[in-house]
Chain A
């Protein structure tokens, strides 16, 4: 069965949200999501890296398969991601120093965001064609950004309320994520 590009997008965005249903990119999700204003740039930067990684991974995979070098796939992908993060860093530094400073330490950390490698690996495993792969990256990025924004807004409210001391910290974030994930299950079946 060939999935339409639209349904690939909806699937990665809502029905199988990358963070809340597939557990990808949890480190930044739990780490960065305490403020709303850093959540959006972080999501945007990750989405961009996903796009670059997905496009390049598509080409590299075709190349590796043509030469029968599939066992190098993982190493090739991770090198692509690391270098595209570096590229984003350099471009931002040159053209938008303000944004570069705002993102700061988060930029290099995108390399070890499993959501980015996840996009490259899943598009290979599911044998998406080029358009599907692009939509997949877009959906994954949008889903990641959405989850980050939701979490950040809830946590900003929570910072003002009184929470029992035992629950504070990671335990609370995890329970929150669980409830968010539960509500995202309502989208199940939407992508068909």
Chain B
């Protein structure tokens, strides 16, 4: 049986030590493409988390019945089913959001994080552990996206969640909203983390 601290450890693994965005650098495509504003980033993160948790749960439940030879194809079909659910869900909740995220909702299917979790964790562990692990990864992914989206929106539009921060005198740093800005901001975050990691290792 799993004790509480162990479950917590499992959860924090994805949120912090193995953070998919900052540590493992996985699933970059949606990270960079939709993180032009905090709200887009947050909803993309939540959508991915939903797909991640539900497909890991299902795969973990079915792990004894999925033949080894066709497992990847099976995983992909399961993931694609949940992505279709999310796709229609977002379309029903907010059409503006759906248009802002565009094809990137459907591209969650090929997000390496999900397939990676399914293959490395959910296929070998009981449902509860798989769900906790997937939830941790999802929260970690959402945090990463949110950090990126916030910086880009604040620098590029002078606003946060659409609320203007600096008043009229602010000259927006437009490049942050354009594709290069995504690369630069993510690179900057990674630099920051590697700086701290090195300082801790050195001290």
Interface residues of chain A, those whose CB is within 8 Å of chain B, are 20-27, 30, 71-72, 74-75, 78-79, 82, 111-114, 117-118, 121-122, 125, 165-167, 169-172, 174-175, 177-179, 181-182, 185
Q: Does the CB pair B25–A30 fall under 8 Å?
A: yes
Q: Does B161 contact A (CB under 8 A)?
A: no
Interface stretch, picked from B8-16, B39-47, B99-107, B150-158, is B99-107
Name the one of A30, A114, A166, A172 contacting B110, with C-beta atoms under 8 angstroms: A114
Q: Does B77 contact A (CB under 8 A)?
A: yes
Taking CB atoms, residues of chain B closer than 8 Å to A121 are 103, 106-107
Q: Does the CB pair A178–B183 fall under 8 Å?
A: yes
Interface residues of chain B, those whose CB is within 8 Å of chain A, are 25-30, 32-33, 72-73, 76-77, 80-81, 83-84, 87-88, 102-103, 106-107, 109-112, 115, 175, 178-184, 186-187, 190-191, 194-195, 198
Q: Does the CB pair A78–B80 fall under 8 Å?
A: yes
Name the one of B32, B107, B112 contacting A118, with C-beta atoms under 8 angstroms: B107
Q: How far is the CA of A153 from the CA of B50 in the complex (A)?
A: 39
Name the one of B33, B115, B184 contacting A22, with C-beta atoms under 8 angstroms: B33
Q: How far is the CA of A23 from the CA of B186 in the complex (A)?
A: 13
Q: Does the CB pair B28–A75 fall under 8 Å?
A: no
Name the one of A25, A114, A125, A175 contacting B183, with C-beta atoms under 8 angstroms: A175
Name the one of A23, A72, A117 contacting B182, with C-beta atoms under 8 angstroms: A23
